[in-house]
Amino acid sequence: MDGQSKASAMNEDNGTANSGAGEPLDLSGATPMMVQYMEIKAAYPDCLLFYRMGDFYELFFRDAEQAAEALDITLTKRGKHLGEDIPMCGVPVHSAEMYLARLIRKSFKVAVCEQVEDPAEAKKRGSKSVVKRDVVRLVTPGTITEDGLLDARRANYIVALGRAQNALSLAVADMSTGEFFLAPTKAGRLDADLARLSPGELLIAPDLMKDETIATALFDWRSITSPLDARHFDSTDGTARLKALFDVATLDGFASFDRADLAAAGALLYYLEDTQKGQLPHLFPPRRLNAGETMMIDAATRRSLELTRTQTGEADGSLLSVIDRTVTGAGARLLMKRLSAPLTNPDAVASRLDAVEHLIERPSLRHSMRAALRAAPDMERALARLSLGRGGPRDLLGIREGLEAAHAIRQELLTVSEAIERLPDEMTEAMRDLGSHHELTAELGRAIVAEPPLLARDGGFIAAGYDAKLDEFRTLRDESRRLIAGLEGDYQTLTGISGLKIRHNNVLGFHVDVTAKHADKLMTAPLSDTFIHRQTLANAVRFSTTELAKLAGRISEAADRALALETEIFESLTKAVLSLSDPIALAADALARLDVAAALAELAEAENWCRPTVDDSLAFHIEAGRHPVVERALKKSRETTFVANDCDLNPDDRLWLITGPNMAGKSTFLRQNALIAILAQMGSYVPAARAHVGIVDRLFSRVGASDDLAHGRSTFMVEMVETAAILNQAGPKSLVILDEIGRGTATYDGLSIAWAAVENLHNINQSRALFATHYHELTALKETLESLSLWSMKVREWKGDVVFLHEVAKGAADRSYGIQVAKLAGLPPRVIARARQVLSHLETTDKGDKARGLVTDLPLFQSIPERGTSAGPHGAPSEMEAKLKEINPDLLTPREALDLLYALKDLSKETP
Ligand SMILES: Nc1ncnc2c1ncn2[C@@H]1O[C@H](COP(=O)(O)OP(=O)(O)OP(=O)(O)O)[C@@H](O)[C@H]1O
C-alpha cells in the first residue's frame, strides 16, 4: 500500500485492534496496514515510530500526540480504533532530519520504519496486500551521525556503565568520530566522570540503580538514560564482540581490560549494532584510561566554574566561549575535551605547551596553518557516515579536501623543520599522523565534481572524463536531448504551428504542447497519424509521438544507466576511503590537535597570557592572575579595567582565609585561580604574568549556591552536600575553593560549621585552599592553624559610600560594609537607616543580650518615622486618625460607610 491510499486504509479500520503501545495486541478487525503498524510498534515501545507512507513519516496513537506536542505540528485523526479516533501526525520525508533533530534534543528515540519493497511487488500478492516495512534504524541521542543533528563543536558520547566483581567501568564512544575508550570509575567519582564526558546518551542496567550512590550520581542524567537489559552487560559477550569488531584473537594488544570494562564494552557494542541494525560504525581500537590520568572535577565544581556552559546552561559566557579560537569543528571538540579533562602528568602538559609556544613564536607558520585548517572539512564525521553507509558525495569531497589541507600543512611543517630546527614532539607526531594520501586525493579529485549533491541517488556528482562508460551514457542522453530540441523545429515546420512546443512533466514525460485553437489540426489526418492525443486542458492540448517516445526512452535509459554507474563508482570510492579509514582518522585527529595548538597560541598572544610552569610540587604561585571571563566582560563594558591579583599557596601558607565585603571581588578571585589551574593543566597558557602550578589531582569549588528543586534539596542542603564531598575527598594535592560556607543557616550554626570546615581543611585534608567568608570571627583561627593566612579585599570609604578596589591584600577586613553595599543596590533609605541603628546596637551590646536588647532597646518603628505613616507633624494625630476616631461603625448605613471609605482614601493620598 502506498502513501496515497493511507487515508482510506485508516478509515477502513473500525475494528477492535489495540494501539500496540505496550498493551497486548488485539488485532481482530484492524486493517492489514494497522495490523502491520501495531506489530512493528509493539517491538519498539520506547521509541516514536516513524512509519513511512509515501512521502511522509506518519505517527499514530500516543506517538502522534507526543510528537505533535514536541514538534508543535498539527495533530489530526485518521480512522477509528476501538470506536475512538486514531490520533495521527506526520512529517515530510525530505525534511525529516530537522524534525528528528528536535525530537532528539528533547531526548526522544525514534524508530525509522521504511517500505522495504517496491509497492508493485506488494500488488502482485493481491490488491489488498500491504507493502513490507521494517525498522531500518533507531535514532537515539547517542547514535546520530548527520551534520544536521549534531553540534559540530561538541563531541557526542554514548556511554555504557558496566559493573563486575564490584568494579565499575564506563565504555565511551563517539559514533560520529570513531573515538572509543574505557574509563574505569568508582561509585564515588561516577558523578565527576559523567560530568567530564557530558554524554548524549547513557546505557545502564536498571538493577544498578539499587545502589544508592550510583542512583544519586545518575540522577542528573535521567533524561538521557536508556535502560538496557542486564544480560547485555556480560564480560564474555563483550570480549567476543570486541574481538570480532577488531578482528583479533586477543585483546591484550589494546590494553589490559577488567571484567567491568568488558561488560560495559559489550553492552555498548550490542546497542550500537542494535540501533544501526547490524551496521557498526568505524571505531578506533579501545584505549583504557587510567583513573588518575585527568584532574577530577565533580559536576558541582564544573557548574560553579562555568567551564563549558554557564550556570543557566548557555555556551556563551562560559570559559570555553572565551578561550575558543579554533577554526574547525574537530578542533573545537578537542578543545572542549581538553578543557573538560585537564591532565595530571606534568610531562604531557609540557609537551602540549611546547607546541603552543612553538606557534606563538612563529606567527607566520601559525597563520598559514590556520588558513589551511579553515578549508578543512570535518573528516571525522564524514568518515563515520561513510562507514555506516549513510554517506554521500559531499562526504567524499570532504575527505579529499581534508586530506589536501593535511598535505598542505604537512608541507609547511616539513619546510620549517628542515630549514630551522626540531619541531616539538607534539607537532612531530601530528606531522607523522597527517600522513600522505596522494593517491586517494588524486583519485577523489578526478572523480568528484566541485559542488556535488548531498545524496548519491541524485546523481551528477562524478566528473566528466573520469569514467569513459559514464561519459558515453551522458553523451547519449545529451544527444537525445539535442535531438528532441531539433524535433521541435521539425514539428513546427511539419504542422505550420510556430507556437508548438516540446515540454516535459512527470506525468506525461516528453510531449508536444499546442494551444487549444491549433489542436484540431493535429487531431485530423494526416497529422493525426503522427500526433497521438494525450490530454486536453483549458488552454493547452498535449500529444505524444512515436519518435518522441523513442527518444525519451533513450534518454531515460541512458540516465538510468548513468545513475547506476555513478552509484557503483560511489560505492567503490567509498570502499577505497574506508580501506584507509584508520590513517584518515589519524590525519583528522592530527588536524584537530594542530588546530587546538594554533588556537591556544593565538589566544595567548592576543590576551597576553603566560606559559605556566607545571610540575609535581605542591606550589600554587600565581602572579598578576586574572579571570578571563570577567576581564572580557569588563573590556566590553569599558567601564573599568580588571585588577590583577597574586595568589601564593605554598606549603607554609596553603590556606588563605579571605574576608571582605560583598561585591569586592572574592568570588572572582577564587574562581580565577581554579580556572588558571585548569587552563595550565589542559596545556594552555594562562591569564597571569607568571604561574607555577604543582599538579592539582582534584579540584573542588563551591562558589555561589542555588537550590536544587529536582533533587528536593534546599540551598543550604546543596551547600552541605557539596561541602561534605570536599571534606571527605580532598587531599594534599587537591585545590579547594570555598565561598561563604554556612551562610544559608542561622548565624551561629553557620559560623560553627565554617569554623570546623576550615580546621578540617587545614589539619586533615591539608589541601591548597582559598576560603572566602563573611564570618570575621574565623580570623581568630590564625592563632591555632599555622599554615593559614588572612587576606582581604581592599575597599575605601568615601563620603559614607564604599569603593571597591578589587585588590587582595594581606590581613583581615576591618568590617563587612554590608549596609553600604545594600545601599548601592538601592534598598530603601528607611531600611538602610534602620539597619545602621540595628548594627550599631549589636556592635555595642554584650553578646548574650543582643537579640533581647534589640527588641527592648530598638522596638520596631519606634525611632524611624516612615514615609506614608499616619503620624502628623510633631507626633500629633493626623487628620485621618482624627476622622477614624470619630467613626462609630454600628451607626453607619452601608452607603455612609462607603462614602467614608472614599473620604479616607482621599485623605491618605494627601498624607506626605
Ligand atoms: N579583580 C577585579 N577587577 C575588576 N573588577 C572586578 C574584579 N573582581 C571582581 N570585579 C567586579 O566586581 C563584581 C563582583 O565580584 P564578585 O562577585 O567576585 O564579588 P564577591 O566579593 O564575591 O561578592 P559576593 O560576596 O556578593 O558574591 C564582578 O562582577 C566584577 O564586575
- Residues 6+ away with beta carbon under 8 Å from 80: 13, 14, 86
Main-chain dihedrals φ then ψ at residue 737, nearest 5 degrees: -120, 115
Residue 817 CB–ligand 1 contact under 6 Å: no
Q: What is the pLDDT of residues 455-506, one digit of tens each?
A: 888 888 999 999 999 998 888 888 888 888 888 999 999 888 988 999 988 7
- Residues 6+ away with beta carbon under 8 Å from 468: none
The topology (CATH level 3) of 468-572 is MutS, DNA mismatch repair protein; Chain A, domain 3 (1.10.1420)
Report the nearest atom of ligand 1 relative to the CA of 807.
Answer: 1
Distances (CA, A) of 216 to 146, 190, 297, 725, 785: 33, 10, 17, 13, 35
665 is in an annotated binding site: yes
Report the nearest atom of ligand 1 relative to the CA of 644.
Answer: 1
The topology (CATH level 3) of 157-291 is Nucleotidyltransferase; domain 5 (3.30.420)
Residue 832: is its pLDDT beyond 70?
yes
Mean pLDDT of 300-326: 91
In the reported structure, the alpha carbon of residue 662 is separated from the centroid of ligand 1 by a whole-number distance in angstroms of 8
Maximum distance among all Cα pairs of the chain, rounded to whole angstroms = 124
175 is in an annotated binding site: no
Share of the chain above pLDDT 70, in %: 90
Q: What is the pLDDT of residues 412-425, one digit of tens each?
A: 888 776 555 678 99
**Dihedral sign for Cα atoms in the order 115, 120, 125, 129:** positive
Q: In whole numbers, what is the pLDDT of the chain averaged over residues?
A: 85
Q: Spell out a b/e string for 494-530, using b for 16 or more CB atoms within 10 Å of the CB, else e.
A: ebebeebebeeeeebbbbbbbeeebbeebeeeebeeb
**Residue 709 pLDDT:** 52
Element (H, E) at 795: strand 788-798
Report the nearest atom of ligand 1 relative to the CA of 626.
Answer: 1
- On the 0-12 / 13-18 / 19+ scale of CB atoms within 10 A, 750 is buried
Which of 636, 663, 702 most suits a substitution to test ligand 1, by most atoms within 8 Å of the C-beta? 663
CATH number of 613-793: 3.40.50.300
* Three-class DSSP labels, 495-537: HCCCCCEEEEECCCEEEEEEEHHHHHHHHCCCHHHHCEEEEEC
Residue 676 CB–ligand 1 contact under 6 Å: no
In the reported structure, the alpha carbon of residue 666 is separated from the centroid of ligand 1 by a whole-number distance in angstroms of 6
Element (H, E) at 33: helix 32-43
Mean pLDDT of 516-528: 84
- Residue 134's nearest CA partner among 109, 110, 115, 121 is 115
Bridge-partner residues for 85, per DSSP?
80
**Residue 18 pLDDT:** 35
**Residue 183 pLDDT:** 94
In the reported structure, the alpha carbon of residue 630 is separated from the centroid of ligand 1 by a whole-number distance in angstroms of 8
Element (H, E) at 60: strand 56-60
**Residue 863 pLDDT:** 37
Could you tell me how far CA 75 lies from the centroid of its own chain? 29
Work out whether strand 540-544 and strand 48-53 pair parallel, antiparallel, or are unpaired: unpaired
Report the nearest atom of ligand 1 relative to the CA of 664.
Answer: 21
In the reported structure, the alpha carbon of residue 640 is separated from the centroid of ligand 1 by a whole-number distance in angstroms of 12
**Residue 882 pLDDT:** 76
Residue 762: is its pLDDT beyond 90?
yes
In the reported structure, the alpha carbon of residue 822 is separated from the centroid of ligand 1 by a whole-number distance in angstroms of 15
Q: What is the DSSP string of 647-692?
A: EE--GGG-EEEEE--TTSSHHHHHHHHHHHHHHHHHT--BSSSEEE
Q: What is the pLDDT of residues 704-752, one digit of tens each?
A: 655 455 555 667 777 777 888 888 889 999 999 998 776 666 667 778 8
Neighbours of 834 (CB within 10 A): 17
614, 343 Cβ separation under 8 angstroms: no
Q: Does domain 3-139 correspond to CATH entry 3.40.1170.10?
A: yes
Main-chain dihedrals φ then ψ at residue 57, nearest 5 degrees: -100, 120
Top CATH class, 324-437+580-607: mainly alpha
In the reported structure, the alpha carbon of residue 309 is separated from the centroid of ligand 1 by a whole-number distance in angstroms of 20
Main-chain dihedrals φ then ψ at residue 365, nearest 5 degrees: -60, -45
Residue 642 CB–ligand 1 contact under 6 Å: yes
**Residue 350 pLDDT:** 97
Residue 765 CB–ligand 1 contact under 6 Å: no
662 is in an annotated binding site: yes
Domain coordinates of the chain in residue numbers? 3-139, 157-291, 324-437+580-607, 468-572, 613-793, 873-910
596, 641 Cβ separation under 8 angstroms: no
Written as one letter, the residue type at 788 is: L
C-alpha 58/C-alpha 142 separation (Å) is 23
587, 379 Cβ separation under 8 angstroms: yes
C-alpha 884/C-alpha 872 separation (Å) is 14
Report the nearest atom of ligand 1 relative to the CA of 641.
Answer: 4
Bridge-partner residues for 754, per DSSP?
none
C-alpha 546/C-alpha 44 separation (Å) is 52
Helices (H), 608-647: 628-637
C-alpha 425/C-alpha 352 separation (Å) is 9
- Residues 6+ away with beta carbon under 8 Å from 666: 658, 660, 739, 772, 793
Whether 468-572 and 324-437+580-607 are alike in CATH topology: the answer is yes
Residue 295 CB–ligand 1 contact under 6 Å: no
Strand order through the sheet with 540-544: 501-505, 509-515, 540-544, 532-536
Q: Is 629 helix (H, G, I), strand (E, B) or coil?
A: helix
Residue nearest to atom 25 of ligand 1 (CA): 662
Q: What is the pLDDT of residues 575-631, one digit of tens each?
A: 999 999 989 999 999 999 999 999 999 999 999 999 999 999 999 999 999 999 999
Residue 662 CB–ligand 1 contact under 6 Å: yes
Element (H, E) at 591: helix 581-607
In the reported structure, the alpha carbon of residue 793 is separated from the centroid of ligand 1 by a whole-number distance in angstroms of 10
Residue 632 CB–ligand 1 contact under 6 Å: no
